[in-house]
Structure 1
Amino acid sequence: MRYSIVLLPLWLCGLHNVAQAREMPPAPFDSANAPSPATVTELPDSPGTVMMRSRAKELDRELLNEEPPNEEPPDEEPPDEDKTSSYFKVDEIRVPDLSSYHLNLVGAPTFPSSSTQSRRPAPTDIKDEPYHWKGLILQSVAFSALENGVRIMTADQEDRHILLNKPFWSDYFASVQQFNMRRWNDGDSFLVNYIGHPLQGAVFGYIEIQNDPRGRELEISSNPQYWKSIFRALIWSTVTSTQSEIGPMGEAAIFNAGGFTYPIHCPHKDKYSCPPTSKYTNNTGWVDFIITPTVGTLWLLGADTIDRYVTDPLVQKHPRAFGYKMLRAGLNPAKSLANLLRGHFPWFRDYEHPGVYESLAVEEFQRAMDVEPRDHVDVFLHYTALTLNVNTLGCTGCRRTADGAGIELGFAVRRYLDLVIDSDILPGASPESSLNVGGTLWTGRAGLRSGYSGKHFALKVTLAPGFASYSRSQSAPAQPIGRNYNFSAIAALSADIRFTDRIAFRLTTEQMLIRYKSLYRDPPDIGTPPNLSFLSHDNYINSTNWGVTLGPVLRF
């Protein structure tokens, strides 16, 4: 459009001069000043020049509405100007309609084409858009997983021991039962209770808002629809913050808040380095249940106010200034994190992009996942070798390579997502029996597999929990020998070389974790006040084992 606006006046001016030239009488020929034929050197025209002159004459006749020479005028009637979309008349001269031209994103003029379509679908009508329950659940789970990941990375050794070496479910239920709801404070610092938890509540509130078509594009105002949206965000923040306290992904499950007592304001919760007058807590109380959703919602309102009256005017006035976009993201960290969880830039605002819910990255991912799988079932018959801590006549608890065979079934649920079920038998993995280990090892697992799948090659990653069972072992020192079952899980990388559409060869490297019960037990009872523990006395050992599997693959 920029080029069209500049060229249109010049072009119309040229057409006007041509029309005037036709009306003016021809100028008299001045023979005195005319060059003689002897002084004029004529060069032959090139084919390209001849073609250009011929085309120029045709364009002149077309623009001046003249008929070609030596041709009879057509018998049919001239086309109706109202039905001609590419021309209009200016002083009886037909001029091409420049409105049929448009510009691409870089400003170069292009022609309209029915095959040119935007990668992003047309914005949807909010009235017809359903509530995005899937996005609400997945983004909330992802945020909870991110929180727990940060907590695990910053935890001390005692907390990691509780997470890794203690029974998960029994200690989780024991911790929930010991929540003390007869007090307000839980022993955490002001920064944690009144800054960190409200920020958590604001993030959960924004996650609800961005998945609600009725409130996603609303700015803070007196509009009743905005305040209804805030109320729905408060409800969801209350639900998710309660899960963060007593749910299976919350503090009662991760590090067992409520399951034991510890002194407040002592380094690493060390009860031996604290004075006897120290106060003890089991990290429970009403404070997080109330402060997280309520103050988190107030945080959300304050951030919306800053957006509308501070950062939005700056970004709208300087739409290409990256610094103002970062200022907007920095002054509203809760919204920035919620945006990242759905694949948008931190400074993205829905009211600036009406009708747009998904980011391009998420749309491409969902489009790829929705493609029908090429294969529906694959059968992997394999040889397996696994390094294990086993018992022999000359060594107890020594690492040895055991081998066997197995079968894996893969069911394609999406183009890039498979459900896998695997079972292996390793005969005589541990010749001698002892606690947890002995006899033949049987493993089974079920999980998910995803990755690249081409015509001649495939590379995929598998994550699958399951069990590992020895046929002759002891569950306790005084117990008879029998079969036991231990939790296990694998992370595997597999590569397929495909010879035909039906036959391939697969090589897999895997890391298998087996969780054994330890001989060591915590002291009996729950301790003496104020040092109390309601957790299980059992402890577990996590053994990691490298393995390799290989064999043919049949695809159906």
Structure 2
Amino acid sequence: MTGSNRGRWVRWVGALVVSCLVASGEVHGQESTGTLAEAMAEHMDGAQPSRDQFTNPAPRRGANVLGAVGDSFRLLTMQHAIRIGFQEKTRRELDGPFFKDYANSVRVPHTWGDGDGWVVNYLGHPAQGATSGWVWINNDPGAEQATLGLSRRYWTSRARALAWSAAYSTQFEIGPYSEASIGNVGLDPKTTGWTDYVATPLGGFAMIIAEDAIDQHFLVWLERRTRQKPLRAIVRSFATPNRSMANLASGRWPWHREGRPLGELGRRPRNEFITTQAEPVAPRGTAVAIGAPAPEGLVIPER
């Protein structure tokens, strides 16, 4: 790689990282700790605060579309940074006239395949669809806690995630912040195919349902049998990888579950205090006439 090309892709990666950091600025309302280990120890003991506590304390009825757009932008930035960092062909195509090459890269596919292998098309692309679908679920109030089953609430929330995944996939292929604009995928007609537009959202939809089943039937079962928070965090993160990636894009820990901290199931969160006040009890030896009512607000203990 020549010096000019190396400098060009380094600038691209730097710009992507900076844009990702700037876009994530509104997510974290907490102070950061010195190390990742300290941060994990600090946050593992309870539920991570929701972003809405800091940006919108009022209860939200509809989906947070702007939040989903911001999280999707961060996810796209992570994907493009990985492409530029690990794909020589992507770095090579950064040269040349940007707008002309981008316009020539946007085209209607004429074949099903796009030249990628089976693993990429039917595992990798659906994983992207599932991750972008989880990004929507993270911003759809109540969708995260919808239980897998025959309820209308569950399937409606997952259908909305499917629609968002399809839009995200289309943007990733030919949008202004896409493979076509960054790397000029599609400049060669053999690199475009309908599989990217169909298998990605539909396969992602199936993966979301599978991860719901894993969470509901395996992870909950496991967490009822162990108190080891690091073990719970690791198993959550790797058993539902697409949800973990979406959590990162949403500014959360990978193992985050809305309404289900790493502590014991059913345990009261430590920031939830009991506000009931005990009734005052008369001290021993207080004289009260027989048959007379006790003073207001005072309880006479039984003998």
Please tell me whether the aligned partners of residues 219 and 351 of structure 1 are also in contact (alpha carbons under 8 angstroms): no
CA distance in 2, matches of 1:348, 1:324: 11
Task: Give runs of aligned pairs for residues 96-495 of structure 1, distance below 5 A.
Answer: 128-156=60-88, 158-163=89-94, 165-176=95-106, 179-260=107-188, 281=190, 283-352=191-260
| RMSD (CA atoms) | 2.4
CA distance in 2, matches of 1:316, 1:344: 23
Unaligned regions of 5+ residues in structure 2, if any? 1-48, 262-303
CA distance in 2, matches of 1:125, 1:302: 33
TM-score, scaled to structure 1 = 0.36
Match of 1:104 in 2: none
CA distance in 2, matches of 1:205, 1:155: 25
The structural deviation recorded for 1:285 is 1.1
CA distance in 1, matches of 2:62, 2:155: 20
Deviations 1:410-434 (A, max 9, x none): xxxxxxxxxxxxxxxxxxxxxxxxx
Q: Which has the higher strand share?
A: 1
CA distance in 2, matches of 1:254, 1:197: 18
Please tell me whether the aligned partners of residues 83 and 90 of structure 2 are also in contact (alpha carbons under 8 angstroms): no
The structural deviation recorded for 1:200 is 0.3
Task: Give runs of aligned pairs for residues 21-36 of structure 1, distance below 5 A.
Answer: none
Please tell me whether the aligned partners of residues 216 and 351 of structure 1 are also in contact (alpha carbons under 8 angstroms): no
The structural deviation recorded for 1:246 is 0.7
Please tell me whether the aligned partners of residues 312 and 328 of structure 1 are also in contact (alpha carbons under 8 angstroms): no
Please tell me whether the aligned partners of residues 129 and 200 of structure 2 are also in contact (alpha carbons under 8 angstroms): yes
The structural deviation recorded for 1:316 is 3.5
Where 1:317 maps in the other structure, the secondary structure is coil
Task: Give runs of aligned pairs for residues 48-63 of structure 1, distance below 5 A.
Answer: none
Please tell me whether the aligned partners of residues 136 and 211 of structure 1 are also in contact (alpha carbons under 8 angstroms): yes
CA distance in 1, matches of 2:203, 2:250: 24
Deviations 1:283-305 (A, max 9, x none): 01101100000001101100110
Please tell me whether the aligned partners of residues 138 and 250 of structure 2 are also in contact (alpha carbons under 8 angstroms): no
What letter is aligned with 2:195?
A: V
CA distance in 1, matches of 2:75, 2:193: 23
The structural deviation recorded for 1:333 is 0.4
The structural deviation recorded for 1:309 is 0.4
Q: Report which stretch shifted further, 192-201 or 252-261.
A: 252-261
Runs (4 or more) in structure 1 with deviation over 4 Å come to: 119-126
Aligned length: 211
What letter is aligned with 1:260?
A: D
Of structures 1 and 2, the one scoring higher in RCO (CA 8 A, sep 6+) is 2
Please tell me whether the aligned partners of residues 315 and 325 of structure 1 are also in contact (alpha carbons under 8 angstroms): no
TM-score, scaled to structure 2 = 0.64
